[in-house]
Amino acid sequence: MTAIALRMSGADFLKLRRRRWLVLLSLFLTLGILAIIYLVTVIQHGSDPSEHGPAGGSKNFKDGLAVLALFFGPLAAILIGIEAGTGDASAGVFRDLVVTGRSRVALFAARVPAALALCWAVMIAGFALLVLGTFVFADTLPTPTTAEILNGLGFTLLGTGVLCVIAVGFASFTTSRAGAIVTLIAWQIVASPLLASITSFGTARRALLSEAIAHFSPVSIEGRHGSTVTMPQATAILVLVAWVAVFLALGAWRTRTMDA
């Protein structure tokens, strides 16, 4: 990465981190939700220990990881990615960046590391709270191993990172913040699980982004592994790379060709 590319990404990161509602909402979806879960569980355990176990320990770590990495973390990642993809156009400053003479593809490319930096900073903060609660509130329960913790962190960063980058590309392609938010969240939360549950689609369901991400999930959801569809590791990697590549290409193409 050249010095100018670094500065451009730094500038994009500045735009994102100073967007107060985005940072607060993202922190609520990660830190806030986990904090609420811990608060409720601690109160329940304190009021009736025989009925409700401690808030920490391995099992609660996995439940919290599912909340962070599979439900609310992806929402935050999508919001951050979409803001990075549409921020310049919606503020009307894209044309001012274009008249610097800098290539439009470079302007687009600068958004990706900036969005990832904020996304991962938020995820790491959420994950740190998860680990902290896991040990502080473990009481007599067993705690996760270092490998399990690192595995959980890796999965959180992978899943949210992929979604964040796709959101940057998709939002840059559509240039509509509201449209991109509705479409991506509806796809991930409603359409994808529905399509994955239709067994007649067979191995075609391997192409679903949510299934490829869930393939790497170290946690189970409702008694089953994260992914509904089984697939080889290489296929899962290929699917993730393909989704990222297609949406980055679409975003770059639109940024390069649109009227500024």
Partner 1 sequence: MPDSTLAIETVGLTKRFGARTALDGVDLQVPSGSAFGFLGPNGAGKTTMIRSLLGLTKASAGTMRLLGYPVPAQRAQALTRVGAIVEEPRFHMHLTGTENLRIVAAARGPEAYRRIDSALARVGLSERAGEKVKRYSMGMRQRLGVARCLLADPQLLILDEPTNGLDPGGIQEFREMIRAMVEQEGRTVFISSHLLDEVEKTCDAAAIVDRGKVVTQGSIADLAAGGGQRHELIIGVDDPVQALSTLNGNALVRDAHRSDEGLRVVLEGGPDTAAALNAALVAAGVGVMRLEPVRQSLEQRFLEVTARLDAPLEEVPS
Binding residues for partner 1, rule: CB under 8 A, are 3-4, 7-8, 10-11, 14-15, 18-20, 87, 91-93, 95-103, 106-107, 259-260
**Of the two residues 93 and 191, which places its CB atom closer to partner 1 in the complex?**
93
**Of the two residues 18 and 224, which places its CB atom closer to partner 1 in the complex?**
18
Give the shortest CB-78-to-partner 1 separation in angstroms: 20
Give the shortest CB-259-to-partner 1 separation in angstroms: 5
Sign of CA dihedral 232, 238, 244, 247: negative
Give the shortest CB-105-to-partner 1 separation in angstroms: 12
**Of the two residues 62 and 254, which places its CB atom closer to partner 1 in the complex?**
254
Sign of CA dihedral 150, 72, 28, 92: positive
Q: Residues 193, 210: contact at Cβ < 8 Å?
A: yes
- Residue 140, token pair as written in the block: 């007599």
Give the shortest CB-22-to-partner 1 separation in angstroms: 10
**Of the two residues 4 and 198, which places its CB atom closer to partner 1 in the complex?**
4
Give the shortest CB-172-to-partner 1 separation in angstroms: 16
- Residue 106, token pair as written in the block: 């470079």
Strands 224-225 and 220-221: antiparallel
Q: Is 215 helix (H, G, I), strand (E, B) or coil?
A: coil
**Of the two residues 237 and 260, which places its CB atom closer to partner 1 in the complex?**
260
Q: Is 203 exposed, middle or buried (0-12, 13-18, 19+ CB in 10 A)?
A: exposed
